[in-house]
Amino acid sequence: MFIGPSGKVLDELLEASGVKREEIYMTNLIKCMLPKYRRPKQDEIDICGEYLLKEIEIVDPDILIPLGYYATRYIFERYAIPVPPKPEFREVYGKLILTDDRKIFPLRHPVAPLYQPSVKEEMLKNYCRMRFLLTDCKWYPVCPMKRFYEEGRLDRRWIELYCKGDWGNCVRYQMEEKGEPHPDWMLPDGSVDERLREGGL
């Protein structure tokens, strides 16, 4: 899986992110080697996709990380996530998405920098964020967000997307790390919810 030049790129990205291949389950959308490494046809995606869905059912991962356009588009369609037009598709890479039962974190395919070296730096940054997804934020046990959630005053999405998700992008986390003061009712994206304050703080 992921051998040759793109495999070397993937190994570099995983090493930089602190994630080892043996720590994750890797698979392919297309289950056979396509002639001359051509792009998959829709009927091949449809047929092989059924096997991928069965794999997901068996492995039951907390996080799906599709690599590249075809895998990401397929996962988006199966989980009823709007698929952006192809010119805007790159904007989904590195964005953590929450469905009813899965977290989805699309990343560029490791072959991308071989054809477009300018994307390597952005890819490295996004791949390194995988490590945030493997553990909860260290501040979560004492974070007001935990209390608000347990009291039923905060939507689960905030917890899953930040406290138990991409907490490296949490404004609260960044401010805690710098020792900067911030109100308890400030949300992970930096916005302020006065309703939380009015709830008894």
User: What's the whole-number mean pLDDT along residues 45-52?
Assistant: 93
Tell me which of 34 and 143 has the higher pLDDT. 143
- Give pLDDT, residue 201: 45
pTM of the shown model: 0.89
User: What's the whole-number mean pLDDT along residues 41-65?
Assistant: 94
DSSP 43-112: HHHHHHHHHHHHHHHHH--SEE--BSHHHHHHHHHHTTPPPPPGGGGGGGTT--EE-SS-EE--B--TTH
pLDDT in tens, 118-138: 999 999 999 999 989 988 999
- Give pLDDT, residue 46: 93
pLDDT at 139 over 80: yes
User: What's the whole-number mean pLDDT along residues 172-197?
Assistant: 95
% of the chain with per-residue pLDDT over 70: 99
- Give pLDDT, residue 33: 83
User: What's the whole-number mean pLDDT along residues 12-34?
Assistant: 90
pLDDT at 199 over 70: no
pLDDT at 32 over 90: no
- Give pLDDT, residue 200: 53
Residue owning tokens 């977290």: 103
**Minimal CA–CA distance to 133: which of 24, 9, 13, 8?**
24
User: What's the whole-number mean pLDDT along residues 23-50?
Assistant: 89
User: What's the whole-number mean pLDDT along residues 9-21?
Assistant: 92
**DSSP 3-state helix, strand, coil percentages of the chain (rounded to 5)?**
55, 5, 40
pLDDT in tens, 84-97: 998 999 999 999 99
User: What's the whole-number mean pLDDT along residues 168-192?
Assistant: 96
Bridge partners (DSSP) of residue 63 are: 103
User: For the chain, what is the mean pLDDT?
Assistant: 92
* CATH class name, domain 4-133: alpha beta
Q: How confident is the model at residue 159 (pLDDT cuts 50, 70, 90)?
A: very high
Q: Provide CATH 3.40.470.10 ranges for the chain.
A: 4-133
pLDDT at 144 over 80: yes
